Structure 1
Amino acid sequence: MQSADPEHFFETDAAQEKRQRRAAKAGNKYGDPILLKSKILAAVPDPRSPGSAVLVAESAGAVRLVNLNDPENLKTAYRGPTAPVCCVAVGGPGSGTLFAGSWDKNIWSWDLNSKAPGRKYVGHTDFVKALACATIGGKDLLISGGADKKIMVWDVATGARLHTLQDSAVNMLSIQDLVVDHASSTADEISLISASSDPHIRRWRIRLDKWEQVVEASPDAPGTDRRTILEHETTVYKLVLDHDGDDVDLWTSSGDGTAKCLSRLRNFACEDTFHHGDHVRAVAVTEQWVVTAGRDEDIKFWDRSSGNLYCSLVGHYDEVTDLVVLRDPSGSSQRICSVSIDGTVRTWPLDKAAVDAAVKEQEKPAEEGGKEVAGEGLLSPEEEAELAALMEDDDE
């Protein structure tokens, strides 16, 4: 019988120290952790309960509904893939279809309410790592990005692949994130923004019959064209469009240790930089805060008006992979949810007084004992190594 216990394998001193530190940290209750049995690679709000529930991508090969107001009820799961799920999205007719991209190179779908399996979209030749949904001319589209360096556009109803997008001039690496820029889209054409394991951010125009990469005059070098937005030094993991009236800024997080605000009014030039440190896997914004998280496990709150670090909240004991702002039906921001390789879903306050109270609580001396065992991942040692390679592919 093979063992998955890391103590049964050769480890460097640094690896042992890291494992022991995380084991000691695993029992904390900061952020009201909900413990799942596998690693969590992504999350999106549940459109049926956007203020209280998230849909998470699990390394165990499922998408799970997590009701943050009923943490004991984790029975709702959408199953089919036998490999880890990397990304999730909700769209399709009536926005009632759940999509999941997997290590198995396929995109799976289910009816969001009944959990009935739907169409499977087959075409990528490597992990599917990013998904987005859109509508053109009344037709529902699914857009996927993979480790095969390709962006594909699908007709949701028929499963037909309409387009395959690639940059022919600047080498595009593994796709990390996709976002539809609704402010620049029309009924007949969508504007898409992509991030990848290279530092370039690309923009695309997509119609039902054709697509093109946005190429425009360079704001920095008159007389030359600019094919990409280049404000980071390495992998761009996350793209967030923040709608503040008519001004829509693009927020990014990167393996260079920063999150940035790229101003549309300045042709997507960098307006603000937040030096989180280590790889920044996720960024989220509200009227008051910029929140960043990533490899160093901490949730950092930045004052949006001043750009200064306000506080760091601890809780996760492994890399944070995603952040989701939870908004009640009125549209106001109430909480932020974080998910992690440690298998926990945690929620944090956004009200300043509540954030201050959380900081004060964490400043208290840690109590001894009461250690909680972290949930065991469902991956073999070989798959653990493959997951580590997937998370490290920014080094391409």
Structure 2
Amino acid sequence: MKNPKNALLGGKSRFLKIFTKVINEDPKNRPITRRHSIAPPNPNPNPKSQYSNTHFGPNGVEVEDEGFFTVENLITRIDFLINLPYEIAAYILMFVDFQTLCRMARVSRAWYCISRDNELWHSMYVMSEGWKTNIPKDVLTGDVDWKNLFKNRHTLATRWKKGECEKRYLKGHLDSVYCIQFDEHKIVTGSRDKTIKFWDINTGNCFQTLYGHDLSVLCLQYNEKIMVSGSSDTTIIIWDMQNYNQAVSQIRRLSGHSAGVLDICFDGNHIVSCSKDSTIKVWDVNTGECLRTLVGHRGPVNAVQLHGNRIISASGDALIKLWDLEKGICIRDFIGHTRGLACVQFDGKWVVSGSNDKTIKIWDVETALCIRTLEGHTDLVRTIHFDEDKIVSGSYDQTVKVWDLKTGKQLLDFKNGHTSWVFDVQFSTTKIVSTSQDQIILVMDFAEDLDTRYII
């Protein structure tokens, strides 16, 4: 037996085309009552176009009766929504676009009530591709104003599409800002001035500065417990983050590389670092012991990513390598860039890389085949960050660009944010944050004046 839900969805496309057209007509020419209505008279002043006294006699001959006239445009219209069970009417409206649903509220009192249904807006939000929520466990789903949440999320998506954002600049570092990470509360940056700074993401105030490295802080990563930073001084420092808003203390310092630590990443068990000395090292996150050293690149290893038991590395030798973390062996090479690589990100399925050949490449991790090449930057692609929908990149050409991950199409191009090389970029649902040689942190906020408490 055919699933009734699937049967309804099967006719969705044709239904929405007709339904949206009807709703978007000028309401002055489309009266709808609770049951039926008489169409308005034709505005044409010629009465013959409105009324008729012409009839056909018994023998089929057309005759005229000057004593009787009839209205020609008498139309009965059925309000199908209120003739349906409320639940079915609400279910149908789940597939209507945002603007149409808002216009529906002006049609009739019954349609207004249906279009305000909180569960309807909840369902529409859940069905919107890529829209996620972060509702605390102590907040009941039914207590959320889903229409307002949908409206804010829709506005946010529209701003991303158009590139509309509020720009804020954070100043405080005394030299180039090399690395960044941020969350809903704070931004953390590392600089050539040897410091790590903590910034309040809402006010932009710097509320803490860490000293510990002897040279430039080139890379960092944190979670709720620890932060790991790497430096040109060849060392790695593990910091205690559990009271970051009061004091961040050093837990231990790791030594082993013979040149600057260019990138780091970690999970619950391991820290992985890469260096200008052409090696990758795997460390025990709890003890700081160096477990193994991976050798294979013929140039500085500029970027590294960890996902499960796999490590992805990108080097100045123009190669990307996939490694087995436990065995310490290279599984395969990704060949395609014509110049050295500056950055790489890996999510377990896709590898995205940026290079001095001015391109971004998307690779299938299982086959090492290049799926797509993105062209648009005019200088070295220094940094990339991606999620399931889009890629954000920063370049020596001083721009930040946004790309569609699935099609490779360039969506946005921010040209006037920085006055020098862009070194790092990260983004969330609401913001893009970038750092540069110009010593400035740029925050591009797409959610200015929006309530995004439950949006992720």
Which TM-score applies when normalising by structure 2?
A: 0.41
TM-score, scaled to structure 1 = 0.47
Q: Which has the higher relative contact order, 1 or 2, with Cα contacts under 8 A spaced 6 or more apart?
A: 1
Q: Hey, which of these two has a bigger chunk of helix by percent?
A: 2
